């Protein structure tokens, strides 16, 4: 199978740490990128979750709050209901 080159630009520290990690698990960065690409093609998706840091829903404080609320509901506490606030509703 013919080979080609993929050139990727990244922060020098990220590259150094990535190379170190890859070596620690017995592979090169090239092998790791090939594993990633083959997994993307096999699964037809990025093989991990990508979360935006700017979405407050995924913030650590909100996730802790939601975990507590779920726990309270499962324990029969905090059964108050609230109206849904819809973004863009003029009413």
Per-residue pLDDT tens, the chain, 91 aa: give them.
Answer: 899 999 999 999 999 999 999 999 999 999 999 999 999 999 999 998 876 667 778 788 888 988 988 888 888 886 677 677 777 655 5
The per-residue pLDDT for 52 is 65
The per-residue pLDDT for 11 is 93
The per-residue pLDDT for 34 is 96
pTM: 0.54
b/e map of 4-43 (b: 16 or more CB within 10 Å)? eeeeeeeeeeeeeeeeeebeeeeeeeeeeeeeeeeeeeee
> Measured in whole angstroms, how far is the alpha carbon of residue 12 from the centre of its chain?
22
The per-residue pLDDT for 62 is 86
């Amino acid at each position: 199978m013919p080979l080609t080159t993929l050139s990727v630009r990244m922060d020098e520290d990220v590259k150094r740490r990535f190379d170190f990690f890859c070596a620690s698990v017995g592979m090169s960065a090239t092998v790791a990128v090939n594993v990633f690409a083959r997994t993307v093609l096999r699964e037809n998706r990025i093989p991990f979750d990508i979360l935006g840091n700017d979405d407050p829903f995924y913030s650590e404080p909100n996730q802790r709050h939601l975990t507590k609320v779920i726990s309270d509901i499962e324990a029969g506490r905090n059964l108050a209901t609230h109206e849904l606030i819809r973004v863009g509703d003029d009413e």
